[in-house]
Amino acid sequence: MYTLLSGLYKYMFQKDEYCILILGLDNAGKTTFLEQTKTKFSKNYKGINLSKITSTVGLNIGTIDVGKARLMFWDLGGQEELQSLWDKYYAESHGIIYVIDSTDEERLSESKEAFGKSFDTQPGFPNCLSVPDIKTAFSDCAPKIGKRDCLVQPCTALTGDGVNEGIEWMVKCVIRNIHRPPRQKDIT
């Protein structure tokens, strides 16, 4: 009887929670991406004025529910001195979103370097790099990614274009990953 009631409780009042890191250089659009995500996936969330977003020092946390999954986002600061802290969050994470400002071609190699270091331990704007350009620039990082699922999803954090597709892909990946089970959290 206890097992039946316990299972019913879990079905009714708990969601599988997955922790997702949002990484990238400072001013790449990580917090703007998080705000767009919360606005699109949270019914009553009004969001903040995107022009008021400043550089993240430390981290921002956001949570959304997608079906029976709860995604908790950790938006980590991207300044060079904060990048050394990224790996401290990996053990608890189920997925990583790496944000690249495709309008800032001058910092592309710096972004690639930060991305590569993190694994050792598009549309709507003129002059932005294409997905194939970004894939080519990051191609030598493929061995560091290994067998992990990886997607280069073009999106515009300012308008929200492409955010839904990226989040829906992330949900599918974290749910099917049997090697990293979700945490059980009561619905609040």
Max CA separation in the chain (angstroms): 63
For residue 29, say whether it is annotated as part of any ligand binding site: yes
For residue 25, say whether it is annotated as part of any ligand binding site: yes
Q: Which residue has the tokens 């003129």?
A: 126
For residue 30, say whether it is annotated as part of any ligand binding site: yes
For residue 27, say whether it is annotated as part of any ligand binding site: yes
For residue 63, say whether it is annotated as part of any ligand binding site: no
For residue 159, say whether it is annotated as part of any ligand binding site: no
Distance CA 119, CA 143 (A): 10
Distance CA 139, CA 136 (A): 5
Distance CA 119, CA 86 (A): 10
In sequence order, which residues have a C-beta less than 8 Å from that of residue 47 and are 6 or more positions away?
35, 36, 38, 39
For residue 26, say whether it is annotated as part of any ligand binding site: yes
Distance CA 42, CA 71 (A): 11
Residues flagged as binding site for Mg(2+): 31, 56
Residues flagged as binding site: 24-31, 56, 78
Residues flagged as binding site for GTP: 24-31, 78
